[in-house]
Amino acid sequence: MTTPAKRIALCAGEASGDLLGAGLIERLRERFPDAEFAGIGGQAMRDAGLDAWHDASELAVMGLSEVLRHLPRLLSLRRRFRKRLLAWQPDVFIGIDAPDFNLGLERKLKQRGIRTVHYVSPSVWAWREQRAAKIGRSADRVLCLFPMEPGIYARHGVDARFVGHPMADAMPLNPDRRGARSEFGLDDDVPVLAVLPGSRLGEIERLGAIFLDAAAKVVTDIDGLRVLVPAATPACRDAIEHLLAASPLRAEQYRLLDGNARDAMIAADVVLLASGTATLEAMLAKRPMVVGYRIAESTYRIVKWLGLLKVDRYALPNVLAGQTIAPELMQDDCTPESLAKAMLAWFRDPSATTALEPLYRDLHLALRRDASASAADAIVELMAERP
């Protein structure tokens, strides 16, 4: 008697999730060569063999006003998707990030007896730890990218596994700084600052002018400094161009890039960036950084008043290291003067960068677990367990 082919459903809602899903499909197919993969994904997941019932772009909305405008469509999409999944009866459903869409879907599927996995934990380590229990009501197993996350879930009786971070798998332990500089036509001895004010227009609106003013202050103190400014999207480029035109930086002092953020960080002596995943990338690039961030003042006051924020450190390298290895200048402390002072401290003390590199390497190795294979193993193990 032949065993029926496994049916594996997945849902990813943005480019990063699409890449995670593609890697996961490839590793699951090694274990189940005849498996059928279906759900919501982008081109990378399609190329890996997903039968895409909907495209990931249908979930990609950002900002409160945009979410509210698209909410009826998203709720309708989720209902139709759930109905089709229940008819298809997959052996497991894997929601990849996109918690606002996936967790509610996972909960309904779990209630109907379908095994559910949530891949990429929301930031329960940073705020609203009580969400861990709620996530456990949706997912039979949570796959975590960071080693401090499973312990938080364990406190709430939730099965969570650390699988490593795919970015740590993808980036070399010893980045090619000379090659990155050559790509930008920069000599080895030219001082370089990379400035990344964010990948979203709201971040650029809040941080862009502050970051560029800070860079201009550093330029006046560091002879021959070149500033690289990567723009994540054409819309981000337009926004940054307007800010550069109004900034004290002269055209010959900076270069605005289309993407290329990773190479810009590798090429740089120091990186100024917004808090977020980019700080992890700068750590893996082995570069000293200064982290700045501002959110809407009303949002900040509400978060502080309600006590939702549970950490003293925000930047991922600091959280992972358990110590402040990257200066963090948040909210009212995020000023051109403070940012410039912190950057100049790195430029003036190369030995501090040298001392950082072994710690960076240890953190890189701790995250390098072949995430796609580890995630596939955890999913296969769950599928094999008795309901």
Sheet holding 36-41, edge to edge: 51-55, 36-41, 7-12, 92-96, 115-119, 141-144, 160-162
Give the helix, strand, coil percentages of the chain, each rounded to 5.
55, 15, 30
Instruction: Answer yes or no: are the C-beta atoms of 269 and 193 closer than 8 Å.
Output: yes
* Structure confidence at residue 303 as a pLDDT band (50, 70, 90): low
Which residues are within 8 A (CB) of 79 and not within 5 positions of it... i.e. 6 or more apart?
A: none
**Residue boundaries of the structural domains of the chain:** 7-164+369-384, 177-367
The pLDDT value recorded for residue 123 is 82
pLDDT confidence of 275, banded at 50, 70, 90? confident
Which residues fall within 8 angstroms of residue 37, CB to CB, at 6 or more apart?
Answer: 8, 9, 10, 25, 28, 29, 45, 48, 49, 50, 51
pLDDT of residue 43: 95
For residue 243, the model assigns a pLDDT of: 97
Model confidence over 115-148: pLDDT tens digits?
999 999 988 876 667 789 999 999 999 999 999 9
Angle subtended at Cα 222 by Cα 343 and Cα 286, rounded to the nearest 5 degrees: 45
Q: What is the CATH number of domain 177-367?
A: 3.40.50.2000
pLDDT digit string (tens) for 76-107?
Answer: 999 999 999 999 999 999 999 889 899 999 99
- Determine the average pLDDT of the residues in 10-23: 92
* Alpha-carbon span 285 to 127, nearest angstrom: 27
pTM: 0.89
DSSP 254-291: EEEEES-HHHHHHH-SEEEEESSHHHHHHHHTT--EEE
Q: Which residue has the higher pLDDT, 4 or 90?
A: 90
| 3-state secondary structure (DSSP) of residue 229 | strand
Mean confidence (pLDDT) of the chain:
91
* Domain pair 7-164+369-384 / 177-367, same fold: yes
348: which 2 tokens? 């003036």
Helix 350-367 with 336-348: angle, nearest 10 deg: 100
Residue range 7-164+369-384 forms a domain whose CATH class is alpha beta
- Between 127-131, 139-143, 167-171, 374-378, the lowest mean confidence (pLDDT) is in 127-131
Phi, psi (rounded to 5 degrees) for 40: -120, 125
